[in-house]
Amino acid sequence: VNDKLLKALHGQNEGHPPVWLMRQAGRYLPEYRKIREHHTFMEMCRSPELVTEITLQPLRRFGFDAAILFSDILVVPDALKLGLSFEEGVGPVFAHPLKSAADVDRLPSIHIAESLKYVFDAIKMLKPELNVPLLGFAGAPFTVASYMIEGGSSKELRNTKQWMLRDPDSFHRLLGILTKHTIDYLIEQYRSGVNAVQVFESWAQMLAYPQFKEFSLPYLKKIVDALKKEHIPVIIFARGSSLLADDLAALHPTCLSIDWNGNLPSIRQSVGDKISLQGNLDPETLLNPGTIVQREARRILTQMKGDPSFIFNLGHGILPETPVDSVKALVDAIRENG
């Protein structure tokens, strides 16, 4: 078994850093697109067989040092009966987005262990097939709430921001509900077999700093505290992490995943050596031939050389247009130059 990722999470990795990529299972892989032709995204998420196959696809091709469960952060609001679908060229769409405080108070009370049983079944089927650690994940409450309010992807998060400004109480109620479900969800993933979890606060950079402190950070803290109590290693990914690193580090997560704006050595200096760092190649880099990919990867490898708690990743998810050869070149560069 390859446990480089777990070693890096414990500050004990030697040699080249472990590498995996956010969205490593997905549309840039022809073998993923082939399955996708015949199924809706939610059918794929609900089938333990398909989740197992799709999670394994990038490992077969590139031999990454970790698997990430194939699923989505929006299965939690789907379990809350918002009616999720993924439309071609549009992204996620909720049939019943939240429109008012009354909608928040009408959310059904659910048991995650039952409502998301299909995820836990998939983890149990997948786990024995792996010789690398398995990462589970969930969205952070603010990011998930924004999708529930916008009804799908949105550039400005206008409805979310206006709600937050005009009725912070009901917004906090929503965040509280999501926090509870997120904790239950991640603990149940761990009990089903994942080795560590990543929490995605993908929209943190949209918040003004006081809003980040009020609507994101305290809920991330609750999640990190609950997971650490269960000894579950937790990675926090946030866009804007280069500005927010000190606040996020103060939560004492196992690892911080840094977006491509961040200067890893200075973040390492300011957060100390008790926290693992993950990142942070710009995903756009991978739209280039291998020589360019390798040149840019080496900048990061040089910066973090010998750091026993560094995990190589992208600064955000891999782009669907990425050529598979560029990913291969990246992995080669890491194994040769670590």
Q: Does 16 bind ligand CP3 (CB under 6 A)?
A: no
Give yes or no: 295 in active site.
no
The CB-of-284 to ligand CP3 minimum distance in angstroms stands at 14
Residue 68 parent element (H or E)? strand 67-68
The CB-of-153 to ligand CP3 minimum distance in angstroms stands at 5
Interface residue with ligand CP3 among 35, 317, 323, 332 (CB under 6 A) is 317
Each residue 73-92 as x (binds ligand CP3 by CB under 6 A) or -, in order, gives: xx-----------x----xx
Of 222-281, binders to ligand CP3 (CB under 6 A) are: none
Asked if 235 and 278 touch (Cβ cutoff 8 Å), the reply is yes
Stretch that binds ligand CP3, among 71-79, 169-177, 245-253, 301-309 (CB under 6 A): 71-79
Q: Does 201 bind ligand CP3 (CB under 6 A)?
A: no
Asked if 52 and 122 touch (Cβ cutoff 8 Å), the reply is yes
* Angle between helices 117-126 and 168-192 in degrees, nearest 10: 30
Asked if 309 and 277 touch (Cβ cutoff 8 Å), the reply is yes
Give yes or no: 190 in active site.
no
Rounded CA separation 138/183 (Å): 9
Determine how many CB atoms are found less than 10 A away from the CB of residue 111: 12
- The residue behind tokens 């500005």 is 243
Rounded CA separation 84/156 (Å): 21
| Minimum CB distance to ligand CP3 smaller for 67 or for 268 | 67
Of 140-159, binders to ligand CP3 (CB under 6 A) are: 153
Rounded CA separation 256/249 (Å): 7
Helices of type H across the chain: 4-9, 30-36, 41-46, 48-62, 75-79, 101-105, 112-115, 117-126, 141-150, 158-166, 168-192, 209-211, 217-229, 241-249, 264-271, 290-303, 324-337
Interface residue with ligand CP3 among 19, 51, 68, 112 (CB under 6 A) is 68
Give yes or no: 335 in active site.
no
Q: Does 23 bind ligand CP3 (CB under 6 A)?
A: yes
Q: Does 24 bind ligand CP3 (CB under 6 A)?
A: yes
Q: How many residues of this chain interact with ligand CP3, rule: CB under 6 A?
A: 22
Residues belonging to the active site:
23, 27, 36, 72, 147
Interface positions with ligand CP3 (CB under 6 A): 22-27, 36, 41, 68, 70-74, 86, 91-92, 137, 153, 200, 202, 317
